[in-house]
Amino acid sequence: MKRVIFALFLLLNFLSIALAEVQTNIEYGKGGDEALLLDVNVPDGNGPFPAVVIVHGGGWSGGDKQKDITVLFKPLTDANFVWFSINYRLAPKNHWPACLDDVKTAIRWVKANAAKYKVDPNRIAIMGYSAGGQIACQAAVQADNDTAVAAVVGLAAPSDLVFDSLRRGGISTYLKDLFGLQGAEVNSPQVVQMLWDASPINYVRPGLPPFLLVHGTADKSVPYQLSLNLQARLKAVNVPCDIITIKDAQHKIVEWSKYDADYSKKIVDWLTQTLNKK
């Protein structure tokens, strides 16, 4: 019994140390009248370490920096990455491009505070899941010197909003909230232009950083074909782009390990190899 109690004590102590490493609700900027918050985990050691800015999913109108995307926290922590999980302004209160502006603000903040958090400013990646993947990819393809990153990871990212809306036969409720649309149809020229302007695939150009796309073949929310199309567009202009295909997986990232137990390791390995070239 004493051994069991001692083992539990060690486990609790370890967990308390691990939790203490995560600094929560740090303000990285203002979005209108909202404080923009992030959580950060910094490895032990002197660094500098590679870093990842993480953009959560939730259909542009929900989600949180401590929800779906948390499945990747431990793999990144174990690999000695600094990770920043951010919140951003949500629809319908805030319309496009508020969320994109916030992600750009976060990248600038991470760069400005790189030394404080032991970040190598030349090895910063951005990673987003679902709607967060669209925002992350859009930030990367539209980056300037202040917001440029060294690698991009899109997890089931809706990278072509026109394609996806045509597939659905109309605009989703999520996108109506995001753009502040009421009863608009996808065949409206003005709406099509809005969707085109917010689609990362339309800003692909030479010189972008390497991309990794991760997608389940049975995804009904964001079709796997979108990642294939984005990869083809990137490769056409000689931008490196790899895909981790998760056979039979649907959209929920929390279920992906059922279909590929090593998918998170593959992501971290790709980030490590890609960022170490910088």
Q: What is the mean pLDDT of residues 103-116?
A: 98
**Cα separation of 137 and 29, whole Å?**
21
Does the pLDDT of residue 18 top 70, yes or no?
no
What is the pLDDT confidence band of residue 188, given thresholds at 50, 70 and 90? confident
What is the pLDDT confidence band of residue 12, given thresholds at 50, 70 and 90? very low
In terms of average pLDDT, the best of 17-31, 58-72, 177-191 is 58-72
Average pLDDT, the chain: 92
Lowest-confidence segment of 113-122, 156-165, 176-185 by average pLDDT = 176-185
Does the pLDDT of residue 10 top 50, yes or no?
no
CB 203 within 8 A of CB 190: no
Q: What is the mean pLDDT of residues 230-253?
A: 98
For the chain, the domains span 23-160+201-276
Could you give the strand order of the β-sheet that contains 241-246, starting from the edge strand earlier in sequence? 22-31, 34-41, 82-86, 49-55, 119-129, 151-155, 211-216, 241-246
- Class at the top of the CATH hierarchy for domain 23-160+201-276: alpha beta
Task: Quote the tokens at residue 239.
Answer: 């931008």
Give the per-residue pLDDT at 21: 74
Q: What is the mean pLDDT of residues 233-250?
A: 98
Give the per-residue pLDDT at 4: 43
